[in-house]
Structure 1
């Protein structure tokens, strides 16, 4: 596996979402096997759906032992250290927001690699960043963030729009990528901190 800046971002996103999935499993008091399964779901779910839709088969993680190792490392780390954390929700939120930013960027770059226009690339970024978490929450019988009034998918969309606005400036590709990730992460965390929500469509 050739390591590049984007590969590093992908592995960091994998680790972040694996940790969020493992913490969510522990919150539900699942056994170690359940923790490992829930570490896999958000890490590979969104990317797998994206790859199936664009026809990039087999999906990336099936031929990438490093991805599997990173997910297992995250799950085991959570199993070993979770008992030291009294409240897991803040930890889950931080890693989920970080994974959202990282994977949105990975999805956008994958769309560009396949020659899709900006709108489709942003959609692929949102799919990569959000859909794994949707599957995780459905498995745990929670209402996914995506279907609440949460600032979640909208954070990924705003980050994606900003990415393309900055793409043709003098900013380097790496700095643009990092800025996009930080913007998505910051919007999500600020929304949690100040309870920002989208307007309801019902009374």
Structure 2
């Protein structure tokens, strides 16, 4: 199905943009930009394919690297023309890439005979791993560990995707619903700082750091 390949390339492009934006914020050189754009774009898919014991998707397809380098180059040109960008730009593009990668990763896991539960986990891993590598290389706390909903939105979107298919929708329609559901929840979490509190506020009388 050609649209699956185009969805995959779109997710690659968006995550390459986030890697380039992160490199720009850290004032990296050209090599650093390419490294960060590349690991962000293919990191999650690589880990997914290794765990599924299938050929790594980019090994025999140069279109992935052409997409990464093109997205990085366009982003660099735009950044050089506009020296400031809104603070939430990185989060916005990350949310878009997350939505595409999670759904594509879930479908690939299903294509290789995994259970629904494993497919959701593989989809989540596809979405978060590249961004985790990006943030670690930038010496920042990965977005998946921060306050706003992140991994939960991945699980939510993948589950909606599977349930929509189970209800009889075509793969394409289910993907659109899954992507839009995940993206909407993630953007809402960013805008309104939605969280799942666990510990609550620390009590200074107990001597916590």
What TM-score range do you get, normalising by the shorter chain? over 0.9
CA distance in 2 between partners of 1:4 and 1:69 (Å): 18
Match of 2:95 in 1: 97
Q: Does 1:67 align with 2:52?
A: no
CA distance in 2 between partners of 1:105 and 1:22 (Å): 23
Match runs of 1:45-124 below 5 Å: 45-57=43-55, 59-83=56-80, 84=82, 86-124=84-122
Contact 1:20–1:95 (8 Å) recurs in 2:
yes
Match of 1:159 in 2: 157
Normalization by structure 2: what TM-score? 0.91
Contact 2:14–2:94 (8 Å) recurs in 1:
yes
Following TM superposition, the consecutive aligned residue runs of length 4 or more in structure 1 with deviations greater than 4 angstroms are none
CA distance in 2 between partners of 1:66 and 1:39 (Å): 15
Contact 1:16–1:98 (8 Å) recurs in 2:
yes
Match of 1:6 in 2: 4
Contact 1:27–1:88 (8 Å) recurs in 2:
no
The number of equivalent residue pairs is: 200
Match of 2:176 in 1: 178
Q: Encode CA deviations 1:17-43: one digit per residue, 9 max, x unaligned.
A: 000110011011111211111110111
Match of 2:194 in 1: 196
Match runs of 1:127-138 below 5 Å: 127-138=125-136
Q: Encode CA deviations 1:122-169: one digit per residue, 9 max, x unaligned.
A: 000000000110011001000001122321110010011111211122
Structure with higher Rg: it is 2
Q: Encode CA deviations 1:70-116: one digit per residue, 9 max, x unaligned.
A: 00001111111113152253221121000000000111011111000
* Alignment RMSD (CA, Å): 1.3
CA distance in 1 between partners of 2:105 and 2:195 (Å): 25
CA distance in 2 between partners of 1:153 and 1:94 (Å): 15
Deviation at 1:54? 1.2
Unpaired segments of 5 or more residues in structure 2?
203-209
Match of 1:169 in 2: 167
Q: Which moved more, 1:86-95 or 1:126-135?
A: 86-95
Unpaired segments of 5 or more residues in structure 1?
none
